[in-house]
Chain A
């Protein structure tokens, strides 16, 4: 069983992944031990949680995340997630989770067709997941957002079910940057162990290198509680 200082958290690198190093650094800054996982290797190396980082795996060919979903590492991640292992998908990682059917819905091109890169404010809509328990429901956080295919879509019945079951984890606040249905920025599975979101918590974990925060420009560290949350949930498990 993990402790705050020893929990091993895997970060999967696919061909075209960009943010694996930042995710590993975020895990370390939160107090965990990052473990590099390779897409072609089904061995999860005894990790207790997994982060699927952002990027453009396989160049977004076919559909964003569609080819990565069939990687050997993903077969293991899918089995582990169904068994309750915490899994966080960030941006391209979120797209991989929807393609793997671990989360419902899908992402299509932003409604305005442009790549968007900005400091995005979100409202935490569910603070009871493995990755959000260090937040309070209704809390506003600011983390970077950068994507081309970020428009979250699902049919009305699925959206109603997500809302009814409290499975919307994050909503865009102020401005919806990509046309996502019902301002959805991130969702969780029923059990609360799998979370996916388009914005990037791993880029807001260290003063001086994040978005604007209460203490000034680049001071924001609103991404850190994501990684502290999973460490707390592992200790409590």
Chain B
């Protein structure tokens, strides 16, 4: 099974109210090092079989036409993440869990 990951972020010039709320909450929990937070979106698109260049191209098209709104958001990355598509959660694979 193949997987394409699409990452979308609010444009830098657009105020991100959610990120602002998060950065306001962090110091209350003792996380005083972080001076800014911006909150974006990550989509995982699954396909049967391999991620071909054509599939990646379709994912880019979907990212432009549906998954993001170019007026308020930027597509940060569209990547073939098939190698990470194992059964373990990402945190576990990264040794964090």
Contact = CB atoms under 8 A, between A and B. Distances in A.
- Are A and B part of the same complex? yes
B71 A179 contact: no
Interface in B13-44: 13-15, 17-18, 20-21
Interface size class of A (residues with CB under 8 A): 20 to 34
Interface stretch (A45-53, A102-110, A132-140): A102-110
B94 interface: no
Most buried by A among B20, B21, B66, B69: B69
Contact of B71 (A106, A112, A113, A151): A106
Nearest to A179: B15
Interface of A is mostly: loop
B55 interface: no
Interface string A136-171: 000000000000000101110000000000000000
Interface stretch (A1-9, A28-36, A62-70): A62-70
Nearest to A178: B17
Interface of A: 62-63, 66, 70, 98-99, 104-106, 108-113, 151, 153-155, 179
21 contacts: A63-B69, A66-B69, A70-B66, A98-B71, A99-B69, A105-B71, A106-B69, A106-B71, A108-B10, A108-B14, A108-B15, A108-B17, A108-B72, A111-B17, A112-B17, A113-B20, A153-B14, A153-B72, A154-B71, A155-B71, A179-B15
Nearest to B43: A62
A130 to B, nearest CB: 24
Most buried by A among B10, B14, B18, B71: B71
A113 B72 contact: no
Contacts, number: 38
Contacts of B9: none
Nearest to B15: A111
A111 B67 CA distance: 23
A100 to B, nearest CB: 11
Nearest to B10: A108
Contacts of A98: 71
Contacts of A153: 14-15, 71-72
Given A153-B71, A153-B72, A154-B71, A62 B17 contact: no
Contacts of A63: 69
Contacts of A151: 17
A66 B66 contact: yes
Contacts of B69: 63, 66, 99, 106
Contacts of B13: 155
B71 A109 contact: no
A98 B71 CA distance: 10
A62 B21 CA distance: 20
Given A105-B71, A153-B72, A154-B71, A110 B17 contact: yes
Contact of A113 (B21, B66, B67): B21
Nearest to B72: A106
Most buried by B among A104, A108, A112, A155: A108
A113 B21 CA distance: 8
Contacts of A155: 13, 71
A60 to B, nearest CB: 13
